[in-house]
Amino acid sequence: MDERVKEVQVWLNKTYKGVNGFEKAPENGRTGWATVYSLREALQHELGISTLGQGFGDMTKSALQNKIGSLVEGYSGNIVKLIKGAFWCKGISPTDFTSKFNDNLTSAIKELQNDAGVTVSGKLTVNLMAALFDMSAFVLIEGQGKSGVRSMQRYLNGKYSDELGILPCDGIYQRATNTALIFALQKAIGIAGANGNYGPGTIAATPTVSQGANGEVVRIIQYGLYVNGFYDGSCNGNYTSEVSNAVVAFRKFMNLPPFTGTSDLTVIKGLLTSNGNTNRDSIALDTSTQLTSKDVTNFKNYGFSIVGRYLTGSVGAGVSKRDKYLTAAEIKRITDAGLAIYPIYEDGGYEIEYFSRIQGYRDGIKAVNQASKLGFPAGATIYF
């Protein structure tokens, strides 16, 4: 328990308990989403927003934009106390918990700006407030984060935070970081309306680069190789022989011929998205459909030789519900046609709360038992 965090929680509940829409913060001295939501709702109330909510959306940002210019040293009010409270919850000390904007608060702002990799000015911005009133971490999370990923996150914030907002700098490669990396590629190749989505326009404009090249696209390739575990050198934008060798290793691991050191669409999109270049040729597929003899023949005629099928369960709901589990008869149809099979398990897992040690153990046992019943050999890999 952090006594300072508890002090913030107690003050929030005492000050805003009569405000319609304000949700009480837990008084446990531990920062969590419940406390962040209370801070946001209190901030919205101070900004004159009557309908309070847990988010930090456009309405909050718009109201804050009209106020942010006055939040400087010398200003006094509950908003300042909320800002200091958010800093205490973020793990950055503003020294005190008063309603006056003083030089100690300016120092806390500078510390957060430095952690986030943005310009260290000591001045509040809407984007900085959004990052402050959030659970995002801006220091390396021990045991989970990597310093190289954090360096990349700070670099991306330094270049694109005005457009993307200030993203976490915790050393964990996450969705927001991946989106920012695609956004950086789009900006580097001149995509109008860059949005972090690797769509048709970005696919068409993705360049081919090789050893000897330099620039922002190369830096993004270096970052992509690093987060995929193939490169640990400097991400300086220079396409060296080390980068070229890493590309070859990535191509070989992912079976993406030709096995050269050149980065084309297949390599670059393969580094930045889970599906890679969807126009590349493939001999494998997966499906939740129970395959008929006609299906199997069609797949074989199209050049597929490996089929991924689910071990258990169903898909859809109501009248659309259908079985997706693999059957012994289906295995015979597939193997008689000369195709191979790899097993997949997925039942549930649509919410983060699903993923626990106990659930994983149960799913593992269920998958192994079903695979064994269907005749898969010991040691076969089951994809979850």
Per the CB < 8 A criterion, the answer to whether 29 and 6 are in contact is: yes
Please check whether residue 144 lies inside any domain of the structure.
no
Reduced to 3 states (helix: H, G, I; strand: E, B; else coil), residue 108 is: helix
Distance CA 241, CA 210 (A): 9
State whether 11 and 127 are in the same domain.
yes
Measured CA to CA, the distance from residue 151 to residue 139 in angstroms comes to: 11
Residue 238 resides in a domain: yes
In degrees, rounded to 5, the angle at the alpha carbon of residue 82 between the alpha carbons of residues 49 and 60 is 30
Same domain for 119 and 168, yes or no, is: no
CA gap 172, 152 in Å, rounded: 10
Domain span holding position 36: 3-132
Q: Is residue 204 part of a domain?
A: yes
Q: Is residue 382 part of a domain?
A: no
Q: How many CB atoms lie within 10 A of CB 331?
A: 17
Residue at a domain's end among 106, 132, 158: 132
pLDDT attached to residue 282: 87
Token pair 């801006």: residue = 138
Same domain, 111 and 52: yes
On whether the CB atoms of residues 114 and 83 are closer than 8 A, the answer is no
Looking at residue 231, which CATH number applies to its domain? 1.10.101.10
Q: 77-88 burial by CB neighbour count: b if 16+ within 10 A, else e? A: ebbbbbbbbbbb
DSSP 62: H
Q: What is the pLDDT of residue 350?
A: 84
Q: How many domains does the chain have?
A: 3
222 and 264 belong to one structural domain: yes
Do residues 16 and 22 lie in contact, with contact meaning Cβ atoms separated by under 8 Å?
yes
Distance between CA 12 and CA 58 in Å, rounded?
A: 23
Print pLDDT tens along the chain (384 aa).
Answer: 999 999 999 999 999 999 999 999 999 999 999 999 999 999 999 999 999 999 999 999 999 999 999 999 999 999 999 999 999 999 999 999 999 999 999 999 999 999 999 999 999 999 999 999 999 999 999 999 999 999 999 999 999 999 999 999 999 999 999 999 999 999 999 999 999 999 999 999 999 999 999 999 999 999 999 999 999 999 999 999 999 999 999 999 999 999 999 999 999 999 999 999 998 888 999 999 999 999 999 999 999 999 999 999 999 989 999 999 999 999 999 999 999 999 999 998 888 899 999 999 999 999 999 999 999 999 999 999
Q: CB neighbours (10 Å) of residue 208?
A: 12
Residue 244 and residue 290 share a domain: no
Q: Pick from 132, 167, 199: which residue ends a domain? A: 132
Domain match, 246 and 153 both: yes
Q: Report yes or no on 225 lying in a domain.
A: yes
Same domain, 267 and 288: no
Is residue 279 one of the residues assigned to a domain? no
Q: Do residue 19 and residue 124 come from a single domain?
A: yes
Residue 87: per-residue pLDDT: 98
Does residue 309 contact residue 286 with C-beta atoms inside 8 Å? yes
Determine which helix (DSSP H) or strand (DSSP E) holds 285, and give its type and residue range. Answer: strand 284-287
> Do 94 and 162 reside in the same domain of the chain?
no
Other beta carbons within 10 angstroms of residue 104's beta carbon come to 17
Asked whether residue 67 falls in the same domain as residue 25, the answer is yes
Gap between the Cα atoms of 26 and 89, Å rounded:
13
236 and 322: one domain? no
Does residue 256 fall inside a structural domain?
Answer: yes
Cα–Cα distance measured from residue 92 to residue 77, given in angstroms and rounded to the nearest whole number? 20
> Nearest CA to 85 among 46, 57, 114, 116?
46
Are 237 and 313 in the same domain? Answer: no
Of 102, 132, 162, the one marking the end of a domain is 132
33 occurs within a structural domain: yes
Quote the pTM value: 0.84
Tell me the C-alpha distance between 194 and 163, whole Å.
Answer: 10
pLDDT of residue 349: 84
Both tokens assigned to 86: 């958010």
